[in-house]
Amino acid sequence: MQEHPREAESLRSKDKLVRLGIVLLGCKGAGKSSSGNTILGREEFQPGQRSAVCLKRQGEVAGRQVTVVEAPGWWNYYRVMSSSEMTRNEIVLSQGLCGEGPHCFFVVLRADASFSEAHRVSAQEHVSLLSERVWSHTIVLFTYGDWLGDTTIEQHIESEGESLRWIIGKCGNRYHVLNNHNKDDKDQIKDLLEKIDEMVAGNTSRQFRMDWEGIKQLPSLRIVLLGTKYHGKTSVGNTILGRHEFELRRTQCVKRQGEVAGRQVTVVDVPGWWRSTFVKHSPELITQEIVLSASLCPPGPHAVLLVICVDIFFTEKDRTIVQEHLELLGERVWSHTMVLFTFGGFRETTIEQYIESEGESLQWIIEKCGNRYHIFDNEKLDESIMRTQLLEKIEEMVAGNGGRHFEVDKTLLQEVEERRSRLDTRVENRETKAFKQNRTIDYVMGKVLHK
């Protein structure tokens, strides 16, 4: 049987993984950040600074390309429903940050702390958010290994009782100890990588892939609205959130949040571009806001809605202008984009008939978005139905993307931030110069008037 090319790419001799994806799970203060730094061999995560979203770092470790994702921690003995929706959501989505899927999950536990039945239930419920299959890809990672002293890890596990032994057994009796205070000990990482290789070799599927069919809806969604001026973006944002949150005629992105149909929804409304203006002629402020929009709902939007009004004829020029402005965010943005048609009540034909009648230019955009589209038809449906249907379609797209959100290229962000910083400096210098000139004029005029 011929080996799958992606699997072949990730292997070397003796079944050693060349590319390795790791997700760190655990309660707050368990030592996930320090473990990530020890694995990567440098300070990439910041211990003590608790992030509400997943953090991803990459580097070369023992000749391998390693991706480490740290998921937000839960409170030590909280049941899963007591954790915030954002924490639960980020745990579910953590697996989507490792390309084709993580090879290994670590449940990080402190060796210097007791592990009670309440801790076991909390860990089991939070890890199982990723489905029951996740346990076959999981290893218990003990931190504070120096605290053990002369006690072996096996003696520690035995002394802690049934609750800890249950978690170890759930992970196929796989465990490892790290001393994060001794990062120069390369053998502990070498042994860790070998244990991962052994686990992956024993799994039917090398990488963990989420079963999205079993998930009804995501606890939170992050949405960015893009499109031409006066095509209804602002109204779309208000409809999604179910209240008046956005105003017309703005030159900067606006972010608003609210609970919609049991989900925490974040909407970023981005200033629109002029319909007849190619990207090279768009104001720099507008193009910068488009690039920055994805960073306003960290770690990135689940969906980019490209808003198009159905009461216009969509030309080849429109197609080019839409493509140019959207791809300011990079080519990858298309896999997270859906076309949202507005003013649907003004047409007597179905949306499919409209798409067909408009010709190749609009059809190219639809196909580029993976044939994903939706219509807001205020004449036929009330807002709550339109809103629910749209969110369901967005969740289908997220599932098709393996749960991954869109993450803008950090190089693009850095370039925009540097240009904006230079522009701010020039404006400040002009204002300072104008202030000094006005002070001089005031002084001279004062002298004249008092003569």
List, for residues 108-167, the tens digit of each pLDDT value: 999 999 999 999 999 999 999 998 999 999 999 999 998 998 999 999 999 999 999 999
Q: Which residues contact 66 (CB under 8 A, 6 or more apart)?
A: 19, 20, 21, 22, 39, 40, 58, 59, 60
The CA angle 62-107-177, to the nearest 5 degrees, is 55
CB-CB contact of 54 with 94 (8 Å):
yes
Residue 425 has pLDDT above 50, yes or no: yes
CATH of segment(s) 15-210: 3.40.50.300
pLDDT tens digit sequence for 262-295: 888 999 999 999 988 999 999 988 999 999 999 9
CB-CB contact of 252 with 245 (8 Å):
no
Amino acid identity at 93: L
pLDDT at 344: 61
CB-CB contact of 57 with 40 (8 Å):
yes
pLDDT at 7: 42
Q: b/e per residue, 148-185, with b = 16+ CB within 10 A? A: beeeeeeebbeebeebbebbbebbbebbbbbbbeebee
Q: Which residues contact 317 (CB under 8 A, 6 or more apart)?
A: 276
CB-CB contact of 47 with 197 (8 Å):
no
pLDDT at 11: 42
Q: Where in the chain is the domain with CATH 3.40.50.300?
A: 15-210, 218-400
Q: Which residues contact 11 (CB under 8 A, 6 or more apart)?
A: 17, 18
Residue 451 has pLDDT above 60, yes or no: no
pLDDT at 30: 94
DSSP states along 269-291: EPPPBPTT--GGGS-HHHHHHHH
CATH of segment(s) 218-400: 3.40.50.300
pLDDT at 13: 38
Rounded CA-CA distance 61/103 in Å is 15
Mean pLDDT lowest for which of 1-5, 304-308, 376-380?
1-5
Residues 308/225/272/360 CA torsion (nearest 10 deg) = -30
Q: Who wins on pLDDT, 249 or 447?
A: 249
